Structure 1
Amino acid sequence: MNPGHFLASAFRARFLDVLASIYIYNEHRGYTSLDRVLEAVRARCPDDAEFIAEVEKHRSDEEKHYRMFKRWFELRGTMPLEVDRTCGHIDHFIETVFGCTIDELDTAKIVVDGDQFEKLCRVIMITEQRGMRQVEILLENAHIRSDKALTRIFQVVEKDEPDHWMPYDRWLRANGRRPKPRWRELWADYWIHKSLMLVKLPAIFIDRNRRRLTAWPDAAEHGPAGGGATPAPL
């Protein structure tokens, strides 16, 4: 093989490997975190069946996306690279805005405090809008488009994304709450995104000693076999 082609092929393979590893972490973090959000929504808005159903769909979509990325790795015969919460956009955003991790969020406090619930809805909305813009960019990327399966995955994600932020925007407006991000939230979103793109992703890319997962992120949800639902087709 021509040395130039070999290097280009190796770069492409590594880029897709790193990108998909970060996405599978974030999709898993997304749907498991939305279990907490659903708990808050059902308690705060028990009579708003439409909003509850929209959040349930959001949660279901995130799990569907996770399973598509999982299937992508399975078909390649490899496990994702190990990444942690330092690669999670929503992890950083929650910590910046609420001063605690996702797992430490006081759901009961958020339910009774309208300002806290408003802030949570806005954080989710901003995060999903960022994700939508990022997917649009990725679908123009030559490396992504060279992989038909990964392209189809991102096309599904792109189609689903509007349903992931619009319900929160509608709820905020319908209840006289502020849908427009505050400057601190916008700055946090911008800084988190840039640090992930310019620092974390390149650092993982060049870390040739980075280990791979030995179990799928959802393994604990389904017992030792880590089975669960049938993988989504690519």
Structure 2
Amino acid sequence: MNVSDNYRDAWESYWRETSDSRGEAIWDADPSLSAAPHSELLLPHADAERTIVDLGCGNGTQTHYLATRFAHAVGVDLSHAAVEHARRAAHTDTVEFQQLDLTDTDAVRALHERLGDSNVYMRAVIHQSEPVARPVVAAAVARLIGTEGRAFVVELTSASRDVLRRAASEPAGPPPKLQRVFHHGLKPADADDDEIPRLLAEAGLTVLADGETTLPQTEYLADGTRIDLPARWFVLAGA
């Protein structure tokens, strides 16, 4: 299968209208708040000599950090515009980027054939994917890690909806970066809490560790409070 044209176009238009400036995307948090602590959770279970694949890499901010903790990092994203952002910021041969639709099983299989069993980093992808695509995205994680790789997956929980509703209902309206998300028709925190672990299990993934966290955003409420979205993380192995 492939994602719908509307979904693809929404992400393409979002990234096409985003500059190369760090933090312009609401989820483009500094790695010290994201990939760095996430790596500390993954590395006790993973072989750092294996490539790590950043699924839904966007402009590559987290991918570049992951390349400092693993032998090689590959960032993939549905959006061509996002990949171009990431490539413009790449200045080392330990990181590369390519356009990839995670629901394109042939393309995912080809990536696995090229890289072998890899580690995977996936931050907040399933929750905003189209419902029919979510099982296929989970299966892509399983395909890429094979039997030897490990995955770190973190997804927003339903409590994030309350935070987003509060932000959207501010007297002056949603903060600008959140307004851009709504303007392009993107749908954060759209999955139910029990859906993510169920999809991971159905994909044949085994949970080695999990816990609760927040995903800090680059936007703030009118009172100066940073928007931190509740999330749940998983360290996963294949069958």
Q: Report which of the two structures shows the higher radius of gyration computed on alpha carbons.
A: 1
- Please indicate, yes or no, whether the TM-score normalized by the shorter chain is above 0.5: no
Q: TM-score under structure 1 normalisation?
A: 0.25
Structure (1/2) with the larger strand percentage: 2
Which structure has more relative contact order (CA 8 Å, sep 6+)? It is 1
Question: TM-score if structure 2 supplies the norm length?
Answer: 0.25
